[in-house]
């Protein structure tokens, strides 16, 4: 994706008073020269689930929407306000695939740049190794157009839409 979608390139007016004196005063904050309002840019929380079948293949989703529509992803999404990461992964897997998580273990964190609506959001993706008791109810829904089980070693990074997911798959496959 070409272009500058960083907050410094996109934010032009103070969200509190509407002044054009809304200036970046550091890599992670803006201050309004008129009303003094200060806005901080923080990472958003997101979750990703690594779910394996009995052949040790990983369950990938296929993205329905931009960014990276049609590319492989892992089940997951943004953490809602007031929600824990654990509850977010349970909710997201159910919304996207109609699956119920029975176990989960925290794997680690990965950073990502997510461009949506002309603005770059930086996320901290919390990854969980998850189990489900059955795939009998699986169906693509929400922002997923499909799903596929794949051996992570056989996935070409160009098939994956988001950098953090590419790094997660590299870690899982040992590449």
DSSP state letters, 71-114? SEE-SEEEPPTT--HHHHHHHHHHHHH---EEEEEEEEEEEEEE
pLDDT digits (tens, 9 = 90+) for 162-171: 999 999 999 9
Q: How many CB atoms lie within 10 A of CB 70?
A: 13
> 44-173 belongs to which homologous superfamily?
Nucleoside Triphosphate Pyrophosphohydrolase (3.90.79.10)
pLDDT digits (tens, 9 = 90+) for 51-60: 999 999 999 9
> Do 101 and 74 meet the contact criterion of CB atoms below 8 Å apart?
no
Question: Of all helices (H) and strands (E), which one includes residue 152?
Answer: none
Instruction: Please tell me the pTM assigned to this model.
Output: 0.91
Residues 142 and 63: their CA atoms lie apart, in Å, by: 10
User: Which regions of the chain carry the CATH code 3.90.79.10?
Assistant: 44-173
Give the tens place of pLDDT for each residue, 57-92: 999 999 999 999 999 999 999 999 999 999 999 999
Output Rg (C-alpha) for the chain, integer angstroms: 18
Give 9's pLDDT tier (boundaries 50, 70, 90): confident
C-alpha span between 169 and 127 (Å, rounded): 11
């Amino acid at each position: 994706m070409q272009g500058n979608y960083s907050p410094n390139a996109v934010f032009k007016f103070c969200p509190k008073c509407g002044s054009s004196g809304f200036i970046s005063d550091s890599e992670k904050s803006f201050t309004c020269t008129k009303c003094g309002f200060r806005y901080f840019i923080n990472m958003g929380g997101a979750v990703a689930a690594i779910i394996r079948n009995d052949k040790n293949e990983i369950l990938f989703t296929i993205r329905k929407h931009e960014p990276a529509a049609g590319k492989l992803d892992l089940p997951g999404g943004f953490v809602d306000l007031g929600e824990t990461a654990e509850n977010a992964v349970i909710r997201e897997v159910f919304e996207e695939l109609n699956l119920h998580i029975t176990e989960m273990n925290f794997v680690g964190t990965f950073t990502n740049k997510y461009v949506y609506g002309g603005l770059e959001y930086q996320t901290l993706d919390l990854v969980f190794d998850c189990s489900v008791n059955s795939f009998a109810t699986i169906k693509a829904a929400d922002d997923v157009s499909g799903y596929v089980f794949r051996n992570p070693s056989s996935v070409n990074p160009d098939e994956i839409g988001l950098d953090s997911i590419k790094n997660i798959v590299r870690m899982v496959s040992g590449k």
